[in-house]
Amino acid sequence: MLDLKFLRENREVVIKGAEAKGIDINLDPIIEADDRRKALIQEGDNLKSRRNQVSAQVGKLKKEGKDASSVIAEMESVKTRIQEIDSEMREVEKNLTALLLTIPNIPHTSVPIGKTPADNKEIFRWGEIIKPDFPMKPHWDLTDKFEIVDFSRGSKVTGAGFPFYVGKGALLERALINFFLDHAGQRGYKEIAPPIIVNEDSARGTGQIPDKEDLMYVVERDQFYMIPTAEVSVTNFHRDENLNESDLPVKYAAYTPCFRREAGSYGKDVRGLNRLHQFDKVELVKFVHPLKSYDELELLREDAERVLQLLGLPYHTLLMCTGDMGFTQAKKYDLEVWAPGQQKWLEVSSCSNFESFQARRMNIKFRPDNGGKPEFVHTLNGSGLALPRVVAALIEHYQTPEGKIIIPKVLQQYTKFEVIG
């Protein structure tokens, strides 16, 4: 959520920022609602002042033994109007908040203007793209061959996009989760195990609603949402709290299964592990000082990249353009790993700075060390990492001419085996 004062004073900036994200907005209803709110506050303050005057006048008349009926009648009229104003104020503020929730975050000035993924900017590349002397298979051929991921039984039990991991596939999945969490701990993130279902306030706080309802699974009977990412649970951990400036940055790492309906993406890169409805992910979340948030974003990106380097998987980092960025982000990097069996890049992480956009929704502030007025923190998060495409790329990258899969050395202490096949 944007600051209302900033929005009023920078209307063109807000409108152009939304347009750059491909979103049309109308700020007039917001300004009108805010004007009405201010008018009601002024009228209410005037009436309360008058009520105090009349109350004192009534006491004086009664003390003097004079008729106070007309003054009492005026006081009752003022009281009634104050109640009406209070009631209207609640409706106006509710409407104003709802309107503000529809306004997207403004892209940072360093974000390239663009409309499609073709406008994203590659800023870094690591690792050598394999040019093998044997035909490399896509991961789904290898998972079927070694019976380590069962897509057909997952489809039978739940539906497409809900696979079973079996045997060494399940061990590999668990090994990666532990490896990612251990790495995050070494980088100063406190591990946290959050709920995987959240209430409406939590989904609204991180911006999943009213923007991404169609992508979320809903437990309608209890009005809960299955989390699409641990970002939702973990960022809400400090909702309605004031942190201490001296404690910033506060950093958490969380493993959870994630659930996404992926509405509108059917037929798009859905083969094998490329696009699932349930998948495992380790999420990194930061609460940081506003003056340091962009430095912290670079550190967050480095934390996510380092894992891919340790696994020996070639990747590149993209600075996302305005049109390929989400509703809530001010700046976002995507990490894409190279899958040689498919000859394509697969996204495995997004690292984002939301500035105070989420913190305003959740009312998360920090107390300055100098004793000044509490300020909103900036929130950041990044995948560290999402597992399905990491598994896909790892299987394809480490396949051998004999048709086996070598386990990277950094994982062998976790898997307790060196090869699949």
Amino acid at 33: A
Candidates 173, 352, 389, 396; catalytic one: 389
Following CA atoms 47, 50, 54, 57 in sequence, which dihedral angle do they give, to the nearest 10 degrees?
A: 170
Range with the poorest average pLDDT among 119-128, 264-273, 324-333: 264-273
**Tokens standing for 24?**
């049309």
Which residue in the list 43, 347, 367, 375 is annotated as catalytic? 347
Q: What pLDDT sits at residue 147? A: 97
Q: How far is CA 107 from CA 293, 325, 327, 332, 383, in A?
A: 14, 9, 10, 9, 20
Q: Which whole-number Å values give the CA distances from 365 to 73, 191, 241, 254, in the listed order? A: 46, 22, 7, 22
Q: What's residue 13's pLDDT?
A: 96
Task: Give the pLDDT confidence of 309-363 residue by residue, as tens digits.
Answer: 999 999 999 999 999 999 999 999 999 999 999 999 999 999 999 999 999 999 9
Strand partners for 317: 124, 335
Q: What is the 3-state secondary structure (H, E, C) of 153-205?
A: HHHHHCCCCCCEECCHHHHHHHHHHHHHHHHHHHCCCEECCCCCEECHHHHHH
Residue 51 has pLDDT above 80, yes or no: no
Q: Which of the following is catalytic: 187, 204, 260, 301? A: 260
User: With the C-alpha atoms ordered 104, 110, 115, 121, is the resulting torsion angle positive or negative?
Assistant: negative
Q: Is 173 a catalytic residue?
A: no
User: Residue 78 belongs to what H/E stretch?
Assistant: helix 69-100
Give the type of residue at 141: D
Annotated active-site residue in 275, 301, 360, 361:
275
- 233, 349, 350, 383: the active-site residue: 350
pLDDT tens for each residue of 60-108? 766 667 776 776 777 778 888 888 999 999 999 999 999 999 999 999 9
pLDDT reading at 241 higher than 80: yes
Q: What does the pLDDT average to over 277-300?
A: 98
Mind listing the pLDDT tens digit for each residue in 352-370? 999 999 999 999 999 999 9
Q: What is the mean pLDDT of residues 130-135?
A: 88
pLDDT at 267 over 90: no
In whole angstroms, give the CA distance from residue 61 to residue 66. 5
Verify whether residue 361 is a known catalytic residue.
no
Any catalytic annotation for residue 352?
no
Q: How confident is the model at residue 58 (pLDDT cuts 50, 70, 90)?
A: low
pLDDT score, position 293: 98
What is the per-residue pLDDT across 143-158, written as a single tens digit (0 to 9) for each?
999 999 999 999 999 9
Catalytic annotation present for 260:
yes
266 pLDDT band, cuts 50/70/90, is: low
State in words which class domain 28-100 has: mainly alpha
State yes or no: is 261 an active-site residue. Answer: no
pTM: 0.91
Please tell me the predicted confidence (pLDDT) of residue 106: 97
Query: 345 and 316 in contact (C-beta within 8 Å)?
Result: yes
Separation of alpha carbons 128 and 194, rounded Å: 37
pLDDT at 49 over 60: yes
- Kindly calculate the radius of gyration of the chain based on its CA atoms and give it in whole angstroms: 27
Look up residue 267 and give its amino acid: G
Per-residue pLDDT at 131 exceeds 90: no
Q: Which of 234, 239, 235, 217 is nearest to 226 (CA)?
A: 217
Domain 117-420: give its CATH code. Answer: 3.30.930.10
Q: Where are the domains positioned within the chain?
A: 28-100, 117-420
- Average model confidence (pLDDT) for the chain? 93
The 3-state DSSP class for residue 224 equals: strand
